[in-house]
Amino acid sequence: MKFTEEHEWLQDEGEIVVVGITSHAAEQLGDVVFVELPEVGTEVTKDEEIVVIESVKAASDILAPLDGEIVEINDAIVDTPAMVNDDPQGEAWFFKMKPSDRAPMDEMMDEAGYQAFIG
């Protein structure tokens, strides 16, 4: 698993990368009440705002961690946003994408680096 400074996690599954937010981000947000995901087939650019997440505390945008195409979204978190609080680094993944360039993943933090980052 790789981590971004924007508190996203990425799991490499071959051609596909699964993306979600970290447990730390979910804790900071508080109770998640709304999630809006991109449509399947959407071409995204790294750092483009592609997900809207709202909690009782705040609204946040989630940025695309890589350039590529959205190939699957997790409808379960749209229907039940509280899943993001219950299992942010598991069942509450946001989307799967087919990256056009994986090289930026090499620069991302591993789990130990992320834990030091949130320190």
Mean pLDDT of the chain: 96
A 10 A CB-CB count for 80 gives 13
pLDDT tens for residues 5-50? 999 999 999 999 999 999 999 999 999 999 999 999 999 999 999 9
The structure's pTM equals 0.94
* Token representation of residue 48: 């483009």
Task: Indicate the domain borders of the chain.
Answer: 2-118
Can you tell me the distance from the alpha carbon of 103 to that of 15, in angstroms, rounded to the nearest whole number? 13
Q: What is the mean pLDDT of residues 80-90?
A: 96
pLDDT above 70 covers a percentage of the chain that reads 100
pLDDT at 58: 87
pLDDT above 90 covers a percentage of the chain that reads 97
| Topology adopted by domain 2-118 | OB fold (Dihydrolipoamide Acetyltransferase, E2P) (2.40.50)
pLDDT tens for residues 93-115? 999 999 999 999 999 999 999 99
Q: What is the DSSP string of 50-84?
A: EEEEEESS-EEEEEPSSSEEEEEE-HHHHH-TTHH
Can you tell me the distance from the alpha carbon of 30 to that of 84, in angstroms, rounded to the nearest whole number? 10
